[in-house]
C-alpha cells in the first residue's frame, strides 16, 4: 500500500490532511446505520447513556444527596427540561442567524 498525498480529501480528519465535511458526514451515517442494523435491543444499548444523563442532572440539583429521592428526581427533571429548552433556544438562534 502506498502513502497518499497530503492534499487528498478524506472522509474523517487526519492530522495534516484536508477533509471534506460532506464525506465525513456520509461516513458517519454509514457507520451509525451499520451499528444500529446489528443491534438487537436498542433500548438496552442506550440505557447506560440515559442513566448517566439522569445522574448528571441529579448531581446538579443535589450533589450531596440530602434530598428525598422523589424530590431529587422531580428537581432533576426540571433541570433537564431547562437544559433542553436552552439548547432549543440556541438552535433557533443559530438557524435564524444562518438564514439572515
User: What whole-number distance in Å separates Cα of residue 69 and Cα of residue 46?
Assistant: 23
- pTM reported for the whole predicted model: 0.67
Q: Does residue 65 lie within any of the structural domains?
A: yes
Residue 61 in any domain: the answer is yes
Q: 84 lies in a domain?
A: yes
Determine, yes or no, domain membership for 46: yes
| Range of the structural domain that residue 51 is part of | 41-99
- Split into its structural domains, the chain has a count of 1
Within a domain: 28:
no
Indicate if the alpha-carbon torsion angle 7, 9, 10, 16 is positive or negative.
positive
Domain presence at residue 14: no
- Element of type H or E holding 80: helix 69-99
> Which residue carries 432533576 as its cell?
76
Question: For residues 63 and 57, what is the distance between their CA atoms, to the nearest angstrom?
Answer: 9
For residue range 45-86, what is the model confidence (pLDDT) as tens digits? 999 999 999 999 999 999 999 999 999 999 999 999 999 999
Amino acid at each position: 500500500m502506498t502513502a497518499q498525498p497530503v492534499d487528498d480529501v478524506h472522509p474523517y480528519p487526519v492530522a495534516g490532511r484536508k477533509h471534506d465535511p460532506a464525506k465525513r458526514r456520509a461516513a458517519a451515517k454509514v457507520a451509525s446505520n451499520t451499528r444500529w442494523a446489528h443491534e438487537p435491543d436498542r433500548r438496552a444499548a442506550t440505557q447506560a447513556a440515559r442513566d448517566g444523563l439522569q445522574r448528571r442532572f441529579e448531581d446538579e440539583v443535589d450533589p450531596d444527596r440530602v434530598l428525598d429521592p422523589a424530590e431529587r428526581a422531580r428537581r432533576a427533571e426540571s433541570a433537564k427540561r431547562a437544559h433542553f429548552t436552552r439548547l432549543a433556544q440556541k438552535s433557533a438562534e443559530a438557524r435564524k442567524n444562518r438564514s439572515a
